[in-house]
Amino acid sequence: MLKITDVAVTRNGRRLLDGVDLHLELGEVGLLVGASGTGKTTLLRLVAGLDVPDRGRIAIAGRIVSTAGEALIPPHQRGVSMSFQDGALWPHLSVERHLRFGGCGRMAKRSGQDAFVNELLDLAGLSARRHERPGHLSGGERQLLGLARALAQEPRLLLLDEPLAHVDLRAQRRVAATLLRHLRECSITALWVTHRPEEVSFVGGTVSVLSDGRIERQLSAAEFEAWLREV
């Protein structure tokens, strides 16, 4: 579903990514773990089509979408949704309107839209706040709304930029479990970015460790936790 090959990016004289290779199969959840400033968000932006690599190529579902210095397929044609750290919400729209705006698939058919919206509201824990605007939500609630809005697009590939960073610690495992169940049921491939190694314990999947713009190692969740105990 996602194949990143030898990708490199330099901006303002600084090498942000250098020879990155990363592959995800259909329905696979891959974690990209690294400290702030190691290039995680840059890589997500490349996959989403918001930027282009200086070297290498990116393929989604067997189609090359970006190559050196060129986007071959625009963002809206990639079947990709991205959940941003800051939510990137519209201040004038209610929670529910965020989910209904620009939907496709089930969202485009009125017969299935209401049920799907309710499902997403439940996933985000925002059913009781469906008529509120983002300015009345907490930071964690805004982030969960951004996540639900990304899922409303019914993507083939979901990009998650620190999806639990502002979520209450007590709710993180519940949100992660609910999200992972939704991804499995809908066969959605996901690239989950985090700077917090502890998230690996309740997300699982394959783990790629990004350091100074390069993937230092790729491990299973169990291997990653064993490696952490050693370093």
Residue range 128-157, pLDDT digits in tens: 999 999 999 998 899 999 999 999 989 999
Which residue, 57, 89, 87, 88, is CA-closest to 70? Answer: 57
Residues 100-122 have pLDDT tens digits of 875 555 555 555 688 889 999 99
Provide the token pair at 208: 């790629």
Query: Would the CA dihedral through 141, 80, 174, 33 be positive or negative?
Result: negative
**Where in the chain are the domains?**
2-79+156-230, 89-154
User: How far, in Å, CA of 20 to CA of 174, rounded?
Assistant: 32
Whether residue 31 is predicted with pLDDT greater than 90 in this model: the reply is yes
pTM: 0.90
The superfamily in CATH containing domain 2-79+156-230 is P-loop containing nucleotide triphosphate hydrolases (3.40.50.300)
Pairing, β 206-211 against β 55-60: unpaired
- Per DSSP, the three-state class of 136 is helix
User: How far, in Å, CA of 97 to CA of 112, rounded?
Assistant: 16
Instruction: Give the least confident one: 22-31, 60-69, 99-108.
Output: 99-108
Name 191's Cβ contacts closer than 8 Å, sequence gap at least 6.
Answer: 2, 22, 24, 30, 32, 44, 47, 157, 158, 159, 160
